[in-house]
Amino acid sequence: MYSFAQRADTQVVDEPLYGHFLRVTGADHPGREEIMRQIDCDGPAVMGRLLDEAGRAPGMLFMKQMAHHLVDIDTSFLERTRNIFLVRDPRQMLPSLTIQLPEANLRDTGLKMQWELYEHLLASGQQPAVIDSRELLLDPRSVLGQVCEHLGLDFSESMLSWEARPRAEDGVWAPYWYHSLHESTGFSPYVEKKGFPAQLEPLLAECQPWYDKLYARAFRANKGA
């Protein structure tokens, strides 16, 4: 989201269905009550309004969505948008996720739902882009360049860096999730985490097949190398 926000032709929206997700699931996330007080929790109304505004506004609207937020909602709106799937190796992702969500499950990772959405969009005639976080960090310029080419956009060098600060577009949940992001000025070099908590091995086994399917379709670093 921060990368696309640097483009002069793009506006970004941060997780517009977070309130909807909290309302319909009852999920106990950090800042739950504050989030539900401050944003619209009517998912269909939120998406209807955003798509209407996107159709009338100049430039592009980039919506950062979480797959697991798309619950009890008609996802056919995705057939009207151009979609990018961002995935991360669960062996690297789960230890971080469970800091904030100690009882995280497969649904919380969104991986199974991402694959199901990917297959649905393929069947509808789309060719969604898939970005893997490791490949992205290994060579941001190459991977983002491939994504832009896939979407029919000109790549902009501005997508590679930003100021170390919160953004006005950040959701009200930013204080709970965005600490390191607000200290960043671009894509950090990839560093592989060593070790893996034994108690997360069962969840890893659930996640791995879905991640592997998506990673097989992800853009690779150093295209043509």
Q: Other C-beta atoms within 10 Å of 56: how many?
A: 6
pLDDT tens for residues 63-112? 999 999 999 999 999 999 999 999 999 999 999 999 989 999 999 999 99
Selection from 85, 64, 53, 42 nearest residue 173 by Cα: 64
In one-letter notation, the amino acid at residue 152 is: G
Portion of the chain with pLDDT greater than 70, in percent: 99
* Verdict on whether the full-model pTM lies above 0.85: yes
pLDDT tens for residues 30-72? 999 999 999 999 999 999 999 998 888 789 999 999 999 999 9
Strand 60-64 vs strand 84-87: parallel, antiparallel, or unpaired? unpaired
Distance CA 92, CA 191 (A): 10
Distance CA 158, CA 4 (A): 9
Cα separations in angstroms, 129 against 46, 86, 110, 120, 202:
24, 9, 16, 14, 29
Q: Phi and psi (nearest 5°) for 17? A: -100, 15
Q: List CB contacts of 185: < 8 A, sequence separation 6 or more.
A: 161, 162, 163, 164
User: In this structure, are residues 128 and 85 in contact, taking their beta carbons and an 8 Å threshold?
Assistant: yes
Q: List CB contacts of 192: < 8 A, sequence separation 6 or more.
A: 92
What separation, in Å, do the N-terminal and C-terminal C-alpha atoms of the chain show?
Answer: 27
Distance CA 11, CA 26 (A): 30
pLDDT tens for residues 112-133? 999 999 999 999 999 999 999 9
The answer on pLDDT for 225 being more than 80 is no
The structural domains of the chain, with segments of one domain joined by +, span 2-215
Distance CA 165, CA 168 (A): 10
Measured CA angle at 182 (ends 2, 129), to 5 deg: 25
Q: List CB contacts of 116: < 8 A, sequence separation 6 or more.
A: none
Q: Other C-beta atoms within 10 Å of 116: how many?
A: 14
* Collapsed DSSP state (helix, strand, coil) of residue 136: helix
CATH tag for 2-215 (out of 1.10.460.10, 2.60.120.260, 3.30.460.10, 3.40.50.300): 3.40.50.300
